Chains A and B, each alone.
Chain A
Amino acid sequence: MAKYIVKRIAYMFMSLFIIATATFFLMKMLPGSPLQSAAKLSPEQRAVVYEKYGLNDPLPTQYVKYMGNLLQGDFGTSFQFKNADVMTLILKKLEYSMILGTQALIVGTIIGIVLGMIAALKQNTIWDYGSTIIAILGISIPSFVFAVLLQYVFAVNLEWFDVGLWKGWKSSVLPSIALAIGPVAIAARFIRTEMIEVLSSDYILLAKAKGANGFEIAFKHALRNALIPLITVLGPVAAGLLTGSLVVEQIFAIPGIGEQFVKSISSNDFSVIMGTTIFFSVFLIVIILIVDILYGVIDPRIRLSGGDK
């Protein structure tokens, strides 16, 4: 196990290196300048300002410099926010997105699992149809449409929550629900399909024959096996929540990372583009690693160390 994890971490650094390199050169091909007022300056004036930020150097030099700094943990400073340290900037914005994403993921998955189980256990009843409808709605309605609806009903009309802005946990409720609708749908669909398959398998029949009660069968035997494919997709879903919360964050005027990522690209904020890309990559890779480890915990048949000879 330990050997496996070490190997995976080594691979992780290799992937990161490739991602960083590719992003760096792709990013430098973007049209435009990180200076907002670049169009006003004469070429000479522009050159003077670029000199200060090292943008006049040939690309390979810039690349080597950047990677050197990166190895020392220095992500540089932002162009959009003069003097702002990229890592501090990302962490500050990330806090909000993390809160929303985690809540959405936890709540969404739990509700999704419950819905999926109900649907599978009460197959072809009104319960099944109801949960299927929710799942279909969840997949087909984009989270931002749902966000606007929630905002209108619960904030504008009922006034239970704030329309927007971040004023503590209460502000996180509506956006979290809006973001949770996706995970709800995905979890419900997967659990239903898997459970139905598992419930019709021989060992469930055996368990029933042995006299295990319905509850025990549903949770101990069926759910545990049905969770495996769900865990596989939850990794990307989690990453998607973090990066894809942009529109929901804007609707509720929450200063999250999703928006920052997009803005850094449109404003050629090179150091923030690099910082967020690397950060998201690490996040995704770590999640995939965790998912792989979780497999072993849930299903002992899966041996992580693989072809141990």
Chain B
Amino acid sequence: MKNFKVLWLVSLMLVLSVVLAACGGKVSDTDTGQEGEKDTPEKETAGDSEQVLRLIESAEIPSVDSSVVEDAVGFNVLNNVMEGLYRLDENSLAVPAMADGEAEVSEDGLTYTFKIRDAQWSNGTPVTAHDFVFAWQRAVDPDTGSPYGPYLMEGMVKNATEIGKGEAELADLGIRAEDDQTLVIELEREVPYFLSLMSFGTFYPLNEEFVTEQGDAYASNSDSMIYNGPFVFTDWDGTGNSWKYEKNENYWDADTVQLEEIYVDVVKETATAVQLYEKDQIDRIALSAEYAMQYADDPEVINELETAVFYFKMNQERNGEATPLANADIRKAIAKAFDKEELADAVLANGSIGANYLVPQDFTFDEDGKDFRDYSGTFSEYNVEEAQEHWKKGLEALGTDSVTIEILGGDTENAKKQQEWFKSQLEKNLEGLTIKLKEVPFNVRLELDETSDYDMQSAGWSPDFQDPISFIELFTENSPQNKMGFANAEYDQLIEDTKTTLADKPVERFEAFAKAEKILLEDEAAIIPQYQRGRMVLMNSKVKGLVTHPFGGDYSYKWTYIE
């Protein structure tokens, strides 16, 4: 009886607080004005096929200025509201977009001539070759402070490196407009993936007159920009948690675009996103591992394979001293001592797949559409017996029967779960091995990487352009990504060859990459691949034609429609 009274009292208080809080809310509504009924879509979509898509993002937009953007959200927005010379199509192949037909390439592969399509910016001014010249110069200009401009152009576009050093003028950059419709680009070396790079945000055109007029305010909100892509960008205040896309009527291929509006809200909690999805307030969410298991059999689940690959860096020299990992047998033993399938299926459980390679699958293809993976093999496959053989040899060479190795990794829940798993697998399969785990925030890990202050490190890479070299080149002797005391002259030479003598021989070039990958993973076990990341997504079955891409902007809504 007494209990009942208490319960009653508690519920009374709860109800009371709801009522009171509601009153409090009303007051603040008049205080802040307009916010009231915002135009977020709550419209019933049952039955009709209104061409409206409702999405969420996991982070705000840091920038949509194509010269300075450096993150996934920003590149994704740009891919849908802007357009470069080329665009990735439904199959993620680069096809002419602002370019009118395929580019004309000179004999030596160093000069590209593009005709610019008859297209308009969203304010009605025509898109010309000058817009590209201006944008490229702006991106490489040290005063712009762009990270991606120099990163992508130096060593590729003529004089970009010299401009970075202050030895050349912006006007010397290897891009010029012969007339309004003709754009000529000069390269320093042959770049086989150059055309696909033209679909990347950093290379999009910018209208000089408009950008200069806006000055510092350019791209600070959705009104201070003009667009030449399938959609225009609206209702974004520069830092806010919601934005919108509307169909761009001035887009040259507007007939293809079916969606009228796309609403985007930032939702960081997967739990909240799942509830919103269940309430049919959004059409698509990505699931984190704990929900991935719960929804694994849901008919609306889609597995998307990303192009990010994760691996162990095996540091051979720490603080001037050789680590146990300097011994190749020790490295090879570790490489074969953990079950990647189990890692992907039981630990990650988010659509990721175990990787016995560095260059991801479904990422790069030869001219006949053959995946690079078909050129190369699989390496460091799980094999406890071989691992133990290597281990024994390695220990003998080191003259010891026990080794302690530190694994450096992230400090997020998921990262910790993985490190624990690695520890248990490796210690179980390799007798005498003790693993020490060091779990640190991302920035700390980068700093320890910078100074090579680790033994093994869990790291990952996502590519910025569609070519095996974006992965293979990471571990050459002088690469900023190496930092693990690895050097192999043959490997370095192979990569140099792909840029020079093999640049115009696609098949031999891929074969050279395959050879380099074998050296890196099998002969040297310099790094040990773990998995290729996947994404488990819940998507409303009425949404069709939402295209995902392996690099640059992650999605295209150009071909999306609501059934």
| A window 67-120: CB within 8 A of B | 78, 80-84, 88-89, 92-93, 95, 99, 102-103, 106-107, 110-111, 115
- In the assembled complex, the CB of B477 is this many whole angstroms from the nearest CB of chain A, namely 14
A83 touches B40 (CB 8 A): no
A80 touches B62 (CB 8 A): yes
B22 touches A173 (CB 8 A): yes
CA distance A92 to B221 in the complex (A): 14
Q: A52 an interface residue at 8 Å Cβ cutoff?
A: yes
CA distance A49 to B10 in the complex (A): 58
- In the assembled complex, the CB of B63 is this many whole angstroms from the nearest CB of chain A, namely 4
CA distance A202 to B201 in the complex (A): 78
CA distance A173 to B13 in the complex (A): 15
CA distance A134 to B271 in the complex (A): 27
- In the assembled complex, the CB of A218 is this many whole angstroms from the nearest CB of chain B, namely 19
- In the assembled complex, the CB of A247 is this many whole angstroms from the nearest CB of chain B, namely 9
Q: B239 an interface residue at 8 Å Cβ cutoff?
A: yes
| A window 226-268: CB within 8 A of B | 250-253, 255, 259, 266, 268
B70 touches A155 (CB 8 A): no
Q: B267 an interface residue at 8 Å Cβ cutoff?
A: yes
**Which residues of chain B have C-beta atoms less than 8 A from A253's C-beta?**
241, 265-269, 272, 276
B25 touches A52 (CB 8 A): no
A49 touches B28 (CB 8 A): no
- In the assembled complex, the CB of B317 is this many whole angstroms from the nearest CB of chain A, namely 19
**Which residues of chain B have C-beta atoms less than 8 A from A165's C-beta?**
40, 242, 265, 267, 276, 281
A38-B147 contact given A169-B25, A169-B26, CB 8 Å threshold: yes
A44-B164 contact given A31-B446, A110-B20, CB 8 Å threshold: yes
Most buried by A among B2, B240, B241, B449: B241
Contact of B150 among A45, A134, A163, A259 (CB under 8 A): A45
B32 touches A32 (CB 8 A): no
Query: Chain B: how many interface residues by the 8 Å CB criterion?
Result: 78
CA distance A134 to B8 in the complex (A): 12
B38 touches A167 (CB 8 A): yes
Contact of B142 among A31, A48, A80 (CB under 8 A): A48
Q: B107 an interface residue at 8 Å Cβ cutoff?
A: no
Contact of A163 among B20, B241, B275 (CB under 8 A): B275
- In the assembled complex, the CB of A10 is this many whole angstroms from the nearest CB of chain B, namely 32
- With both beta carbons as reference points, the residue of chain A lying nearest to B150 in the complex is identified as A45
**Which residues of chain B have C-beta atoms less than 8 A from A32's C-beta?**
442-444, 446-447
A151 touches B20 (CB 8 A): no
CA distance A134 to B218 in the complex (A): 53
Give a binary string over B11-22; 1 marks a CB under 8 Å from any A CB, 0 the rest: 001001110111
Q: B6 an interface residue at 8 Å Cβ cutoff?
A: yes
B35 touches A166 (CB 8 A): yes
CA distance A259 to B40 in the complex (A): 22
Q: A180 an interface residue at 8 Å Cβ cutoff?
A: yes
A83 touches B443 (CB 8 A): no
B275 touches A166 (CB 8 A): no
Q: B345 an interface residue at 8 Å Cβ cutoff?
A: no
Q: A220 an interface residue at 8 Å Cβ cutoff?
A: no
Contact of A45 among B20, B60, B154 (CB under 8 A): B154
A164-B272 contact given A45-B164, A266-B441, A268-B443, CB 8 Å threshold: yes
Most buried by A among B28, B29, B65, B278: B28
Which residues from chain A sit less than 8 Å from chain B, CB to CB? 30-33, 35-45, 48-49, 51-53, 78, 80-84, 88-89, 92-93, 95, 99, 102-103, 106-107, 110-111, 115, 126-127, 129-131, 133-134, 148, 151, 154-156, 159, 162-170, 172-173, 176-177, 180, 184, 250-253, 255, 259, 266, 268
